[in-house]
Chains A and B, each alone.
Chain A
Amino acid sequence: MDYLGQLLANGLVLGAIYALAAVAFTLVYGVVRLVNFAFGELFMLGAFLTASLMLPEVRLIGMVVPMPGFSLPVAAAGAILLTGALGVLVDRIAYRPLRNAPRLAPLITSIAVSVVLQSLAQTVWGAEELRFPEFHLATLPPVVLFDSIYLSVMDLVVMATALAAMLGLSAFIARSSLGRAMRASAEDQMAATLVGIPVNRVVAAAFAIGSGFAALAGLLYAQTYGFAHSSMGFLPGLKALTAAVLGGIGSIPGAALGGLILGLVEALGSGYLPNGTAWKDAISFVLLVGLLYLRPQGLLGKPELNSAGRGSLLGGASEFGAGWLRAAFAKVDGGLARAAAAGPRAALALLAVAILVGLLVPSDYWLRILTMVVIYGMLASGLNVIVGFAGLLDLGFVAFWAVGSYLTSILFVLVLKDQFGVAPADIWWLLYLNLPLAGLLAAGFAVILGTPTLRLRGDYLAIMTLGFGEIVRVVAINWMDLTNGPMGIRGIPAPNLFGIALGSPRAQFFFALALAVLVVFAIARLVRSYVGRAWVAIREDEEAAEAMGVPTARYKLYAYAASGFVGGFVGVFYAHTQQYISPLNFSLFENILLLMLVVLGGLGTFIGPFIGALIWIVFLQLALDLPFVQAYPETRFALLGIVLIVLMVFRPQGLAASARVALTMPGTRPAKAKEAA
């Protein structure tokens, strides 16, 4: 009973923090129908700003900067104001131009914003934890309830603050005219616009308040755990989003309820389940996934929020941007479109260039980098099937990649070598068996994961797939017997063909290239058929596709399967080139990175993923020659994020908007038609 009481008390503290952050998601979603993934990072900034304002001095970008050394309440107020202002600024720059764009554009933008903010925070405050200064209330002895439940004074302060903030917000929304306008917008945006509510002001207010709440939640969280860190916002951000969805996104009482439930479930789960603390993150995500499956509108929400506007993925031409910028984009676009139109001949030419490069590049270092380009290009191609062709934003793709990598590593190292003492060189052929096997396994996995998502669209689909990806990662970390946990698996043999080791960087490059030819060829053949036409039809207008007799649910699953197959297939090779894998290789960030590469190069094209991978990975290396980047390597990720935001705002259709791929089988057009074309 005492144990239960203590768990409940801990759960309430955690729940109060989740609830505060959930309000941020819910408030903004209610007004602009945007899942602002960046709230996790605003949460983190709230913690950093508060800690910095409380200290006498901090190191920022390596320089010691004097700070006012405020007490916690003053510092917190300052941090909340600053974060609120930042939230409004982000909205103004990154989201407002996309108000009428299709859903995917703002969603990708918000992911990019979070990458930018996190990388910048790491640049400014460093990769190390910043210890949260002690507040004098925290030094008081804990309060003991019922003789056995210990609550620190700060825990009580956290709960009281959360309660006060929630009540204050409720009063604001009920009483003030701005609050009423907000509620009206949340209930019915069309009607709100019609009755003349100043939408931009309401949205700015929602961002200001939401960001303030996120900052408050972040600083309370950091205060509770004693430190601030640049990646601290990620998991709590996802959990707050879970809480918001649980309560019914858009509903403020729902966010409070969802936060509390999630906090309690997590506390009880980690207390009572075997090895519960290790699995507690999985608990929230299982809850999230189950919830979206059974009741996507959440506890207090309305069902209509799962609808997504139809139309193309990222929208037509943007009306923003200077003439020269548009002209530059048009030029790139034209070039890529011509390249795409040139078809197989261009592909062969490109392959010839790749082979030449592979033969002529002298440095092993650059060969390794080019191998990574090909691997990431292949992975991005797999993601492109589901996102670019079928139009389903999948944030759980890394799971399929992980399945392939783990399958081959477990078989080669943990089973055959460690259990049976078989030398990898003796069973070199197993790699070639594992490639299709892992593909099939990952495809099956993808179908299983895809099935419950079939009813979901847009944001909810993204959140659910993200939940799946995280579950797989948590399993990889915690299922020690199967995966070696966080230690990872070492000593995965390099590829080998008939006893000839293919360990040299040049051999690996050509191996990767051969696989890439297979992958692109297979994807292209599927896309250039009735299957690809069904996928694109689903992407463009799901209902109309159904009306044309396309069983859209089945074809979505085919897209998942194809995408999963590529993930698993490439994952096998990835493990053998890296020779070491751990759960860190398969984080959500990798998924986001792949998504960015596809968007950068052109969604729904065959070459786009490789262009994106080439630009990114080569840039990643070249930038390392700059001294500033050497000191602050994360600035590269910030730059990638900024490029993506710019792309979304000024060029939502991607670099290669006109480079559409043909969707009929090659060589099946009547001769007459070819002349006309």
Chain B
Amino acid sequence: MSAPSPAPLLEARAITVRFGGLEAVGNLDMAIARNAIHGLIGPNGAGKTTVLNVLTGFISPTEGQLVFDGAEIGGLGVNGFARRGLARTFQNIRLFGAMTVLESVLVGAHQRFSANALSLVFARRSARAAERAMIARAYELLEFVGLGADVADRVATTLSYGHQRRVEIARALISSPKLLLLDEPLAGMNAVEKAEIADLVRQVRAQGIAVLLIEHDMQVVRRLCDHLTVLEYGRKLADGPPEQVLADPAVQAAYLGRAR
């Protein structure tokens, strides 16, 4: 049904994930187009986070194949996925304790640094230049995600929930990923914050970064996403443009079922 136009950025083929006896994801095919905001929705426990974990290398699928940017990926280790250009946030925020906002964001830029131990110990000019450049970039990104420079030196975990989410997004973006995967970034936010983050997601896409978004708020999803994949019990229930998918009786039933 989905138009096989230019090669997708990320293609998941026949992915199955089993945890012991439980099949969390079953035979899932999914393609994320370049420059898309791709929504992944479904009731709680449908397997959305598991899919995101597969796409970022956290979980090796029991079966199936991943093709990212034209090459098969798999067995790379989580950091290998990140180096290829897949950056993520977590459903339960996972910032580094005891680090400031600036330092946390800089961890995301890890792959951009290459100075060796001696250059660091002698603080060679090249090492300092790289550090300076990344710090400048971190400040840009903090502004980009809507945080002022004044939070840079606060310990990240002491910020408000909404601000921590933004730090997580900045930390993911500083590696200049090709695909940003966000696991329920709007959860627990008020309408104003939701609108801000939705706007932020659009700006990310405007920079040429595709976004995979897990979200429950159908209003936001409808307006924000170009494409939706709906999961239920680990299986793909529907896939396509938002209007079409959300009108699908099976999808509506799944959501009514959840509300029951």
Inter-chain CA distance A339–B83, complex, in Å, is 38
Most B-side CB within 10 Å, residue of A526, A548, A550: A548
Chain B residues within an 8 Å CB radius of A668: 128, 131-132, 135
A540 contacts the other chain (CB 8 A): yes
Inter-chain CA distance A534–B114, complex, in Å, is 13
Given contacts A549-B82, A549-B83, A664-B103, contact A670 B135 (CB under 8 A): yes
* Contact indicator A546/B106 (Cβ below 8 Å): no
Q: Interface segment, B34-42, B61-69, B88-96, B196-204?
A: B88-96
The one of B58, B79, B107 that contacts A551, using a Cβ cutoff of 8 Å: B79
Chain A residues within an 8 Å CB radius of B172: 548
Nearest-neighbour CB distance to chain B for A478, whole angstroms, equals: 35
Chain A 491-549 interface residues, beta-carbon cutoff 8 Å to B: 521-522, 525-526, 529-531, 533-534, 536-537, 540-541, 543-549
* Contact indicator B79/A550 (Cβ below 8 Å): yes
* Contact indicator A544/B110 (Cβ below 8 Å): no
Chain B 102-123 interface residues, beta-carbon cutoff 8 Å to A: 102-103, 106-111, 113, 115, 117, 120-123
* Contact indicator A676/B78 (Cβ below 8 Å): no
A143 contacts the other chain (CB 8 A): no
Inter-chain CA distance A122–B120, complex, in Å, is 48
Of chain A, the residue at the smallest CB distance from B56 is A547
Of chain A, the residue at the smallest CB distance from B120 is A529
Inter-chain CA distance A541–B132, complex, in Å, is 25
Given contacts A550-B110, A668-B135, contact A540 B97 (CB under 8 A): yes
Inter-chain CA distance A676–B143, complex, in Å, is 14
Given contacts A536-B96, A544-B96, A664-B103, contact A531 B131 (CB under 8 A): no
Given contacts A543-B78, A548-B107, A663-B103, contact A531 B120 (CB under 8 A): yes
Chain A residues within an 8 Å CB radius of B233: none
Chain B residues within an 8 Å CB radius of A666: 123
The number of residues on chain B lying at the interface, defined by a beta carbon within 8 Å of a beta carbon of chain A, is 47
Nearest-neighbour CB distance to chain A for B145, whole angstroms, equals: 16
The one of A525, A547, A672 that contacts B78, using a Cβ cutoff of 8 Å: A547
Chain B residues within an 8 Å CB radius of A552: 79
* Contact indicator A677/B153 (Cβ below 8 Å): yes
Nearest-neighbour CB distance to chain A for B158, whole angstroms, equals: 12
Chain A 544-587 interface residues, beta-carbon cutoff 8 Å to B: 544-552, 558, 562
Of chain A, the residue at the smallest CB distance from B132 is A668
Inter-chain CA distance A543–B79, complex, in Å, is 9
Nearest-neighbour CB distance to chain B for A75, whole angstroms, equals: 50
Chain A residues within an 8 Å CB radius of B94: 310, 541, 543-544
Nearest-neighbour CB distance to chain A for B94, whole angstroms, equals: 4
* Contact indicator A533/B132 (Cβ below 8 Å): no
The one of B58, B98, B128, B136 that contacts A543, using a Cβ cutoff of 8 Å: B58
Of chain A, the residue at the smallest CB distance from B171 is A548
Inter-chain CA distance A547–B84, complex, in Å, is 11
A190 contacts the other chain (CB 8 A): no
B139 contacts the other chain (CB 8 A): yes
* Contact indicator A525/B131 (Cβ below 8 Å): no
B73 contacts the other chain (CB 8 A): no
A196 contacts the other chain (CB 8 A): no
* Contact indicator B110/A534 (Cβ below 8 Å): yes
A633 contacts the other chain (CB 8 A): no
* Contact indicator B97/A549 (Cβ below 8 Å): no
Chain B residues within an 8 Å CB radius of A311: 97
The one of A521, A533, A667 that contacts B103, using a Cβ cutoff of 8 Å: A533
* Contact indicator A673/B139 (Cβ below 8 Å): yes
Inter-chain CA distance A314–B78, complex, in Å, is 26
* Contact indicator B56/A540 (Cβ below 8 Å): no
Nearest-neighbour CB distance to chain A for B231, whole angstroms, equals: 22
Inter-chain CA distance A562–B120, complex, in Å, is 13
Chain B residues within an 8 Å CB radius of A136: none
Given contacts A670-B135, A670-B136, A672-B149, contact A549 B79 (CB under 8 A): yes
Most B-side CB within 10 Å, residue of A525, A667, A668: A668
A312 contacts the other chain (CB 8 A): yes
B214 contacts the other chain (CB 8 A): no
* Contact indicator A525/B123 (Cβ below 8 Å): yes
The one of B128, B136, B150 that contacts A665, using a Cβ cutoff of 8 Å: B128
B25 contacts the other chain (CB 8 A): no
A660 contacts the other chain (CB 8 A): yes
Chain B residues within an 8 Å CB radius of A537: 96, 99, 107
* Contact indicator A544/B131 (Cβ below 8 Å): no
Nearest-neighbour CB distance to chain B for A428, whole angstroms, equals: 26
Nearest-neighbour CB distance to chain B for A399, whole angstroms, equals: 22
Chain B residues within an 8 Å CB radius of A667: 128
B152 contacts the other chain (CB 8 A): yes
Of chain B, the residue at the smallest CB distance from A558 is B117
Of chain B, the residue at the smallest CB distance from A525 is B121
Nearest-neighbour CB distance to chain A for B30, whole angstroms, equals: 20
* Contact indicator A673/B152 (Cβ below 8 Å): yes
Nearest-neighbour CB distance to chain A for B74, whole angstroms, equals: 16
Nearest-neighbour CB distance to chain B for A81, whole angstroms, equals: 43
Inter-chain CA distance A479–B95, complex, in Å, is 49
B16 contacts the other chain (CB 8 A): no
Given contacts A526-B121, A529-B127, A670-B136, contact A549 B108 (CB under 8 A): yes
* Contact indicator B79/A533 (Cβ below 8 Å): no
Interface string of B127-153 (1 = CB under 8 A from A): 110011001100100000000011011
* Contact indicator B107/A534 (Cβ below 8 Å): yes
Nearest-neighbour CB distance to chain B for A296, whole angstroms, equals: 19
* Contact indicator B121/A536 (Cβ below 8 Å): no
Of chain B, the residue at the smallest CB distance from A311 is B97
Chain A residues within an 8 Å CB radius of B83: 549
* Contact indicator B98/A549 (Cβ below 8 Å): no
The one of B78, B99, B131 that contacts A536, using a Cβ cutoff of 8 Å: B99
Inter-chain CA distance A353–B82, complex, in Å, is 47
* Contact indicator B98/A536 (Cβ below 8 Å): yes
B208 contacts the other chain (CB 8 A): no
Given contacts A548-B171, A551-B79, A664-B103, contact A533 B88 (CB under 8 A): no
Chain B residues within an 8 Å CB radius of A550: 79, 107, 110
Most B-side CB within 10 Å, residue of A522, A530, A547, A668: A547
Interface string of A445-458 (1 = CB under 8 A from B): 00000000000000
Of chain B, the residue at the smallest CB distance from A551 is B79
A175 contacts the other chain (CB 8 A): no
Chain B residues within an 8 Å CB radius of A677: 152-153
Nearest-neighbour CB distance to chain B for A657, whole angstroms, equals: 9
Nearest-neighbour CB distance to chain A for B165, whole angstroms, equals: 14
* Contact indicator A546/B78 (Cβ below 8 Å): yes
Nearest-neighbour CB distance to chain B for A602, whole angstroms, equals: 12
* Contact indicator A670/B139 (Cβ below 8 Å): yes
* Contact indicator B96/A541 (Cβ below 8 Å): yes
Inter-chain CA distance A670–B136, complex, in Å, is 7
Chain B residues within an 8 Å CB radius of A543: 58, 78, 94
Of chain A, the residue at the smallest CB distance from B153 is A677
B77 contacts the other chain (CB 8 A): yes
The one of B58, B110, B111 that contacts A533, using a Cβ cutoff of 8 Å: B110
Of chain A, the residue at the smallest CB distance from B174 is A548
* Contact indicator B82/A546 (Cβ below 8 Å): yes
* Contact indicator B150/A676 (Cβ below 8 Å): yes
Nearest-neighbour CB distance to chain B for A113, whole angstroms, equals: 27
Nearest-neighbour CB distance to chain B for A517, whole angstroms, equals: 13
Nearest-neighbour CB distance to chain A for B148, whole angstroms, equals: 8
Given contacts A525-B120, A545-B96, 4 further A-B contacts (CB under 8 A): A522-B121, A529-B115, A534-B110, A676-B152
Q: What are 5 of the A-B contact pairs (CB < 8 Å)?
A: A529-B115, A547-B87, A547-B88, A664-B103, A670-B136
What 8 A-B pairs come out closest when comparing CB atoms? A549-B82, A546-B78, A530-B113, A540-B96, A544-B94, A549-B111, A668-B131, A665-B131
Residues of A whose CB lies within 8 Å of any CB of B are: 310-312, 521-522, 525-526, 529-531, 533-534, 536-537, 540-541, 543-552, 558, 562, 604, 660, 662-670, 672-673, 676-677
Residues of B whose CB lies within 8 Å of any CB of A are: 56, 58, 77-79, 82-83, 87-88, 90, 94-100, 102-103, 106-111, 113, 115, 117, 120-123, 127-128, 131-132, 135-136, 139, 149-150, 152-153, 155, 171-172, 175
